[in-house]
Chain A
Amino acid sequence: MAMGHRRVPEGLLYDRNHYWVKVAGREASIGLSAHGQHTIGDILYLELVSPGAMIRKGEGFGSIESSKWVGALIAPVTGVVLDTNREVEASPGQINVDPYGQGWILRIELSDIDELKLLMKATAYRQWVEEQINREHQEEGAI
């Protein structure tokens, strides 16, 4: 198993659905963490809301498909979509390749700065990911 999916850069905030949030003033970029994309597998398709749409913390802002599975993209924070990553929409596998860089998903204007307090810093998220990976290893042993 590649170790890349354990990578958790400092300076970003994270939630338990494996999204990262990079804050710059009242704006934020959002993407899937390395571990998040790892749990999904090879990403084949992405359907995103359009710029101008309001996304709400805990609610869907699009859907994602890996081989034979589709799921909702769940917003880690609330805000208005400023921009979506057209390159990643055209080539969703970029999320697998570079989740924290070229694989960013969308950029929003934050509606509630206080929501950021509910997100995890890198250290806490890293610890949580390790717990998840340990659980995964136990599952693999059980299968």
Chain B
Amino acid sequence: MDLYNLGPVTWWESQCFYHAMAALGREGLIICYPTTPYVCLGLHDDLDQEIDQEYCRVRGLPLLRRETGGGVVYLDSCQLFFQLVLHRDNPLLPLRRLQFFEKFLRPAIAGYRSFGLPAELRAPADIVADGRKCSGAAAGDIGPCVAYVGNLLLDFDFYTMSKVLRVPTAIYRRCLYQAMRRNMTTLADWMTKAPEYSELAMALVNEFARHLSDLSPRTLDRELVEMSIGYREKLTAMAWLSLPGRKQARRRVKIAEGVHLLERNLGGLESIVVLIREGMAEEPLHMGGPGIDSGSFQFTIGTKEEKIFEVPQQFNP
């Protein structure tokens, strides 16, 4: 299998090379990181609902909508990307696409462990260390191939991530920051000195070679570069970014697998922001308004059908 160990690339190249490879039907593994920050939407994210576009404009953060799943992410040079492109009929791929994340994420888990993090899979597609998310992954069918993409977090700009998302109130944003900080971790939390790119990349390459296939180093060729430039046009065009996506009845941000931050305005000044973990509400991060007792509330969240916020009798209209 071809290996493109690219190191630093532009923000758009960090997404467009793997799209181009998949569209061209070329299998391979890309390892890289973006030199400048940007914001990346999942295929079905709704731009207006999810993103504070004015903040992104003022900060000069470009937007790109990828053709893989998952949600909005803020990406920068503190994240190392690994992107695997396989033909849809590659025998490595199980019938159940989600099942492949286990195999795909093994190298990243091994890489984290080699740097001292007690990393493990949180199915289907997160890596956690000490119960906190330290890597996200996504996948999507692109052309004749399927692309699996993930990252290693050297550090994470929680503040900017909390500003990038469109949220109902400043209080919710503060809660979002707190929730991410408590439920995510990065190499910076575990190491006094950040590892070099080459160390991380080598750890990944060795593990991918061990688990998946022999890897043959390659350099970018003209076909791939030209196709990726075409993808840049497509994935950053306003018409593409503005495609309608899934709508939420109420604001809900997924922090990690099984962990969501929810807000509900109960009318007037009364509102609550609460973290839902595995379908159960934790202590509310914020309760505004008089007389709201956290014990008064019960919350449920379904995995197939959204069912959130069972409001206590006294607050029902």
Contact = CB atoms under 8 A, between A and B. Distances in A.
Contacts of B155: none
Contact of B125 (A44, A47, A68): A68
A100 to B, nearest CB: 17
Most chain A CB neighbours (cut-off 10 Å) among B44, B68, B69: B69
A68 B137 contact: yes
Chain B interface size range:
20 to 34
B246 interface: yes
Given A68-B70, A68-B101, A70-B68, A132 B44 contact: no
Given A68-B69, A91-B305, A136 B95 contact: yes
B156 to A, nearest CB: 19
B97 interface: yes
A30 to B, nearest CB: 19
B229 interface: no
Interface string A21-50: 000000000000000001111111101000
B304 interface: yes
Contacts of B16: none
A51 interface: no
A43 B305 CA distance: 10
Given A41-B98, A42-B304, A70-B141, A47 B44 contact: yes
A70 B303 contact: no
Contacts of A140: 94, 99
A3 interface: no
A45 B246 contact: yes
Contacts of B67: 70
Contacts of A139: 94-95, 99
B96 A41 contact: yes
B98 A67 contact: yes
B304 A93 contact: yes
B164 to A, nearest CB: 20
A136 B94 contact: yes
16 contacts: A39-B95, A39-B97, A42-B303, A65-B246, A66-B97, A66-B98, A68-B70, A68-B125, A69-B69, A69-B97, A69-B98, A70-B68, A70-B69, A91-B305, A139-B95, A143-B99
